[in-house]
Every structure is written in C-alpha cells, then in structure tokens.
Amino acid sequence: MNRIRTTIAALLSCALLSTAAHGETREQWIELGARVHGAFGAFIPVGIRIGLDAKERLKADPRGLAVVYTNGEKPPCPCIADGVMLATGASPGQGTLQIAPDKAPPGTMAVIVIRNRKTGEGLKYVIADAWLPKILGWNKSDPAGRYDAAMSAEDLFTSENVAP
C-alpha cells in the first residue's frame, strides 16, 4: 500500500511540474501553488516570478534548469523556493533544486542562483531584506492580489549573470 501511495505521489509531482513548464494563467498558478505548497502565501508568486524570468532569459529546455536557493536570516522558511520550483521544473527529487545549508549575506532575504544545465549559463537573483515587510503585507489580500502584487512589484529583486 505504501508503495502505491509513493508511486501516486511521484506521478502527481511529475504531472504538476510538467504542467508548470507550460504557460499558466494566474488562476492556474494559484491552484498549483496551493496544491504543492499547501497554501498560496505571498512568497510563492515571488518565486514564480523569478523562475519565469530565469526560464525565459536562460532559454532552457523543460527540466533544463538547476537552482540553488540560499535563505536569509529573517524569513522563517524558504517558501520562495517552492515558487521557483513550480516555474522552473527543478525539484529536490531530481537533484536540480537545492536549499543551501548556509545563510544569505546580511541585508538579503534570499539569494537564488539558477543555471541552464546544458550551457552552464546562470543568473543570480537577490531579494533585499527591505522587501520582507512589503511581501508579508501582500498576505492581507486574496491569492489573486498576492499574485498581482508580486508580478508587478518594481525592483522586487536584482539579477546578474553568473559565469558558467
């Protein structure tokens, strides 16, 4: 019975990641984020936005990105990583999404390095600590409002190229 549950969970996970690899609507991202993460808090769409940006800029094939997520000192957990996972198709089970054991530098909420697995090209995304209260404030709205706030926030993160 446990083997069947494990197989079903693995298939569901693959289906969810496959669905995320294609362009989703706002409502689909909200549903997917809530199903995978357990809720659609304001950190999930932040990760989705970063993942979509990297996917477009690095021109990766499906399952072609690798992610290293480094959490800052202040956020309680790396929820943003789940949004990045949904948008990029990277996953801990595939070994393409890793949560770094160290902490991001002071003044940063998170540092995310995303690489194209074929070319080695990469992007480093940094979210400043100053965004933490703003993002937490987005939780006062409904999931659609959280998504819209994250997708339209100016200067939500900085990004720079990382050498292969």
- For residue range 39-48, what is the model confidence (pLDDT) as tens digits? 999 999 999 9
10 Å Cβ neighbour count for 134? 12
The alpha-helical segments, DSSP class H, found in the chain are 2-20, 26-37, 43-58, 79-88, 131-138, 143-152
For the entire predicted model, the pTM comes to: 0.84
pLDDT bucket at 164, cuts 50 / 70 / 90: confident
133-157 tens-digit pLDDT: 999 999 999 999 999 999 999 999 9
- Statement: residue 55 has pLDDT above 80: yes
97-135 tens-digit pLDDT: 999 999 999 999 999 999 999 999 999 999 999 999 999
Q: Provide the pLDDT for residue 76.
A: 64
Say which residue the tokens 């400043």 belong to: 128
10 Å Cβ neighbour count for 144? 14
Say which residue the tokens 């994250």 belong to: 150
Q: Provide the pLDDT for residue 22.
A: 52
73-84 tens-digit pLDDT: 876 678 999 999
Domains (range + CATH), the chain: 2-162 (3.30.1330.130)
Return the higher-pLDDT residue of 62 and 56: 56
